[in-house]
Amino acid sequence: MNWAIRGPEHGVLNRILTGWSIAPILTVQSGTPYTVINGTDRDFDGSTLGDRPDIGNPNAPVYTRGLVTKSCTSGYYNGNAAITTSNPIAANCVNRSDVHFLQVTSYSPTSSTMESRNSNYTTRYLDLDADLLKKIKINERWQAELRGEFFNVTNNQNFDTPSQNRDVTNSSSASWLNYTIVSGGSRTFRVGGKILF
């Protein structure tokens, strides 16, 4: 959409208020679905592709996870309700009820608590860009044009689908699936001008 703003046809205000146009672009999308990966071959088919972790506590923050490690000696995942795994963020041992995702390392191709495919969603996407243009007539032949391009006018943070960072074993960073601390972009703009003749 390109909106030409009308101004006075004569007088001093004609030079100031006439010649403006604005072209906004609004993009609104729902969140993108994605699947968290187990990181180990839980069904023993020789590939970790498609292997999903179990859900420990569905009410726990989505960025919490438990990894099976030898440093936590209370036991490995064997289908029991009470297990002990390692929290890579806090570097301590946690129980099933403490974390959202649980890595599974023993043979367990299916489970009633296995994460569903594409059950996670990124935040919705909202972006407003705008192009502001001012044409200034100098004389019959010469004309100046000033342009301002504004990106993410609302300064909204948008987060894309996690790519490599959705494997429960991939990173010990506190930013794993944590949308509240990962930067999703900021407002930017640029200006320019040119002479037409």
Which residues make Cβ contacts (< 8 Å) with residue 30, sequence separation at least 6?
A: 121, 124, 125
Task: Report yes or no: 148 and 154 within 8 Å, Cβ to Cβ.
Answer: no
Buried b (16+ CB within 10 A) or exposed e, 30-43: eebebbbbbbbbbe
Residue 163: what pLDDT? 59
Which positions of the chain have pLDDT values less than 50?
A: 75-83
Residue 151: what pLDDT? 92
Tokens 């794993």 locate to 176
Q: What is the pLDDT of residues 82-122, one digit of tens each?
A: 345 666 666 667 777 888 888 888 788 777 889 988 888 88
59: exposed, middle or buried (Cβ count in 10 Å: 0-12, 13-18, 19+): exposed
Task: Report yes or no: 123 and 31 within 8 Å, Cβ to Cβ.
Answer: yes
Residue 174: what pLDDT? 64
pTM of the complete model: 0.63
Residue 81: what pLDDT? 37
Residue 6: what pLDDT? 78
Cα Rg of the chain, angstroms: 27
Domain boundaries, the chain: 3-31+122-196
